[in-house]
Amino acid sequence: MNIGTEFVSKDSSIKVGKFEGFSWIRCEGKGSFLNSLAVKEFGDARIRAGVVRLVIDLEQCSGMDSTFMGTLAGMAARITEYGGKLQVTAASEKSCNSLEDLGLDFLMEINPQDTEWNGLESKVRDLLKLKVAGTKAGTVMHTKHVLEAHEILSRANASNEKKFSGVVKLLEEELTEKTGQSS
């Protein structure tokens, strides 16, 4: 087993670890636009490395914003293309409702009962270690990430397109201002 790292913001932390057969991402505090790029970077690196199970641990997650959920949806779609699965564990009723309200329960397994890591959660959580990293909010890269997350949500469910059209438009305008070119 490889020991993980952690991405920290002042409101929350994202702990990660690589294990045999699966990789683990744990959100402690709020899952938000501030820490979702770190989640995406780690998740995408693990998907490119051939991981077939990506576990999102929401046991200590106090809530998720749309960028965070869009990031999870994007990773779920990418890992599925490679024959893998994104599995969400320890999701509270509030977190389940948030994911289901956006139709994301069709992209990922939420609180699955029969998994290869079943019974190892406590051991896995103990192996996650600290590391500070991430991208500053407001940078072009961060704005592109937030836009991508909302575009993914818009495509995930027909009712989401209407919900997020204003946000997508504002982010496209912001990106155009920052870069001087259309997205």
Mean pLDDT of 76-91: 97
The first and second tokens of residue 57, run together, are 């641990």
The pLDDT mean for the chain works out to 89
d(CA 24, CA 18): 6
CATH superfamily to which 2-134 belongs: STAS domain (3.30.750.24)
For the stretch 146-176, pLDDT in tens is: 999 999 999 998 899 999 999 999 999 999 9
Element (H, E) at 25: strand 22-31
| Prediction pTM value | 0.90
For the chain, which residues make up each domain, given as ranges?
2-134
Q: Quote the pLDDT of residue 97.
A: 97
Within 8 A by CB and 6+ apart from 156, the residues are 73, 102, 103, 104, 107
CA 105 to chain CA centroid, nearest Å: 14
What local confidence, expressed as pLDDT, does residue 12 receive?
Answer: 80
Of residues 182 and 67, the one with the higher pLDDT is 67
